[in-house]
Amino acid sequence: MKRFVVPILALACLAPSRAAAQRPVSLSLAGGAAVPIGGLRDDANLGWHGLAAIALGSFMQPLGLRLDAAYNHFASTDETRAVSGVEALDVSSATLNFTYRLPMTNSPASPYLIAGAGAYRSECDGPAGCGEATTRYGWNAGLGFKFATPGLRTFVEARFHRTERGERNVQFFPVTIGVTF
């Protein structure tokens, strides 16, 4: 009897279960639209972004920690391109974020709040006069929803990001759709 206990326990650990969907460490890949706001709205059109994240959390605790690496691309408006020659603005970021899962019962959607800070590197594509790439600190805050379906974990979120480039504020609002592994 004892010789069967170890193989049975090993198979039980490897078998998929409902609890396996709540791993303490997860990886997410996402993307979506990035909406320029504030002063950036005058110089840039609707953009796009990509995101990779590593999250640390627990099913029993509503607090979590997430490290995001993101790339945002904003094409210049026709007027900005004609006046300054700048083709686009790219903003890359690495942020450490806290998440707070809002209590929901009997729902496939799990809402959460997210906020954090990190380094934002912005650079423009255009003539030499558009300036060098700059790295500044910034912050972000938003709301998201996790969806758990059989075999697939997805999320949708919207966040406000704020950083600086020289003397100007860079503010944008990415709307993200992603999948979590």
Residue 22: what pLDDT? 61
* Residues 70, 92 contacting (CB under 8 angstroms): yes
Count of all residues that appear for the chain in the document: 181
pLDDT exceeding 70 applies to what percent of the chain? 87
d(CA 84, CA 86): 5
Per-domain residue ranges for the chain?
21-180
pLDDT band at 19 (very low <50, low <70, confident <90, very high): very low
**Residue pLDDT, tens place only, 39-48:** 999 999 999 9
- Lowest-confidence segment of 14-18, 119-123, 126-130 by average pLDDT: 14-18
Determine the CATH number of domain 21-180. Answer: 2.40.160.20
- The model's pLDDT over 2-17, given as tens digits with 9 standing for 90+, comes to 555 444 444 444 444 3
